[in-house]
Chain A
Amino acid sequence: MYWNEKYETMPREELKKLQLERLKQTVERTYHNVEHYRKAMQERGIEPSDIKTLDDLKKLPFTTKQDLRDNYPYGMFAVPMSEIVRIHSSSGTTGKPTVVGYTRNDLNTWAELMARALVCGGAGREDVIQNSYGYGLFTGGLGVHYGAERLGASVIPTSGGNTKRQIMIMKDYGTTVLTCTPSYALYMAEVMQEMGIDPKKDLKLKHGIFGAEPWSENMRREIETKLNISAVDIYGLSEIIGPGVAIECKEKRGLHIFEDHFIPEIIDPETGETLPMGEEGELVFTSLTKEALPMIRYRTRDITRLIEEPCSCGRTHIRMERVNGRSDDMLIIRGVNVFPSQVESVLLEIGETEPHYQLIVDRVGTLDTLEIQVEVSDALFSDEVRRLEQLEDKIKKEIETTLGISAKITLVEPKTIQRSEGKAKRVIDRRKF
C-alpha cells in the first residue's frame, strides 16, 4: 500500500533527475533570498550555476543549528513574513530556540509526507489514529495530526499526558493506531496493566508509529508484545520539516527517506568529508521543495548509515538505519532535547564561576530519570543547611524552566565528578535501549 505510488516507487534514474532539478531551484532561491546562504556560497566561491550534477552538492557549505540561532528568529526564512502561515520552535539550548516557519505549500507538503508515512507504517483511512505526540510548538503533534487528516483517517488529538484518560479513550473510541514516543507507549502499557486492561481483549489497537527519541529492537519487541501491535520507527526533525522525513515500512529494516523532497548524505563529523555509500557517519539533509525555510546540507548530528539495496516493499527511496547516536552531546530525555551546556548556563547564572556537574540519565521502569550532580564550590557553599537546600531548590527550578523537564539535584563534594584529561565527563547515560 502506498499513499503516492508515483513518487514513492519512482525509478531511481527518474528520481535523480527530479532531485537535480529541484536542487538547482533550491540553491537558486536560497542564494537570492537568504543572505546567510548567499554569503556562505560566496565565501566558497560558488554560484548557483555551479550546481550541474547531484555530485556538485558536495561543493555547497553546511548549515548548522548555530546558523539558525545566529539568524534568530527569522533570518533564515526565504520568503516574506506575509507568506508564512505557521511557526514552530524547538526548545532553546544554551540560549535561543530554533524557529522554523512554513508557507501554505510547506504545510501541504508536510501533510502529504506524513500521510505517506502513516500509510507506510500500516495506517489507512478506515483507521482511528490516537495522536499522543505533544501539540504545540513541538512539531510532533500537529505534524502527525494534519497527515492523519490528509490520509482521511479519524484522528483523536489527545496530545501527551493524562494517561488513564488516554487509555479510556483508546478503549471506548476503538483506537486502531497509536502515535507517540516509544517510551510513552511503554508507559501506557504499564498503566494499562495497573488498570486491568488487556490490549488483546479490550483494545482494537493494531499499529504504533513511534519516534522523536532513540529506541532499540528490544524496545520494539517489548512494545509489540505488551500492546499486541506492530510498531514502526518514524524520523524527522523540525529544521527539515518535522515528523515525516523518513519511516520504516512493513519490512522494519531501515527507514525510507522521502527522497523526492530531501537529499540525504552521510559525512565524517570530524572532517566534513562525504563518506562512501553504506558507511556510518553523520546524517546531512538538503531540502528540495521547502519554501519558507530551505535547508542546504543541514547537519543533523544524528549518526546512521544509508542502505541502498532495493526494498521488497517496492518503494525505491533509499533507507537509513535507525539512528545510532549523536555526533554532539545532545541527549533525548522523555522526548525532550537536552544539552549539558544548558545545565552549565543555569549554574553560571546562579553564580558558579566554573561549574562542575554531571548529568546521570537512567530509566526506571519505562520512564527516563535525570539526576544532576553539582560540585559545591566555595562560591556556592554556605554553613547553613537551610541555605544549601534553598540552593538545591533554586537550581532545580531554573533547570526545569530551561530544560523543560524536571531533574533531581544532588550537591556533591569537589573533585568527586570523574575527570579524564582534566575534562569532566558531563554525561552518564545508563539507559539501555
Chain B
Amino acid sequence: MKIKQISVFLENKSGRLAAVTKLLAAGNINIRALSIADTSDFGILRLIVNQPDKAYRVLKDAGFTVTMTEVIGVAMSDEPGGLAGVLEILEERGVNIEYLYAFVGSACDDALVMFRVENIDDAIEVLKAEGVKVLTGEEVYSL
C-alpha cells in the first residue's frame, strides 16, 4: 500500500532539474509524478517513478543528495469535492499531512493524489476503513 518516493535536493539554479531528468532518461526510468517545493535558495524535487530503487541508485551515483520516503497514492472520483472528501476524512481522524501533490495524467477515470503524512500506517488504515481507494506500489509504478 506504500509507494516509494524519491526526494532530491536541488539548488535553485537553472539546469538542475534537467540534469535529473536526463539521468533518469538515460537509465530508462519513467517519471510517473513529480512535484517541486522550493525556497529562494534551494528546492526539493519529489518523484514517483516506475523503478524507484534503480532511480535512487542512479541519482546517488551521480552525486545528488537523495532520500527515499514513502507516500500514499489515493484514487478519488474526478469531480468537484473529490479531494475535499478525502481531506475531511484525514482531518477528522487526526492524520497530519506534510504535503500532497496530484498525479500527472492517468489511465483510469479517477484522479490520483499522492499524500505524505506523519504516520503512514495509521493513515492507510483510516482511508481504507472509510472506503477510499488506496493504490499499491505496483499499481502506481506500472501506470
Residues of A within 8 A of B (CB): 376-378, 381-385, 388-389, 410-416
Contacts and interface: CB of A to CB of B under 8 A. Distances in A.
Tell me if A's interface is mostly helix, strand, loop or mixed: loop
A197 B63 CA distance: 55
A411 B37 contact: no
Most A C-beta atoms less than 10 A away, residue of B11, B67, B99? B11
A413 B10 CA distance: 6
A371 to B, nearest CB: 11
Contact of B65 (A384, A389, A413): A413
Nearest to A381: B65
A388 B67 contact: no
16 contacts: A376-B9, A376-B65, A378-B65, A378-B66, A381-B9, A381-B67, A383-B7, A383-B69, A384-B37, A384-B44, A384-B99, A385-B38, A411-B11, A411-B41, A413-B10, A414-B63
A415 B11 CA distance: 12
User: Which of the four size classes fits the interface of chain B?
Assistant: 20 to 34
A414 B19 CA distance: 14
Contacts of A385: 37-39, 44
Interface in B11-30: 11, 16
B21 to A, nearest CB: 16
B46 A383 contact: yes
Nearest to A384: B98
A389 B16 contact: no
B44 A383 contact: yes
A416 B10 CA distance: 11
A416 to B, nearest CB: 7
Contacts of B65: 376-378, 381, 413-414
A413 B41 CA distance: 11
A381 B65 CA distance: 7
Contacts of B37: 384-385
A415 B64 CA distance: 9
Contacts of B116: 383
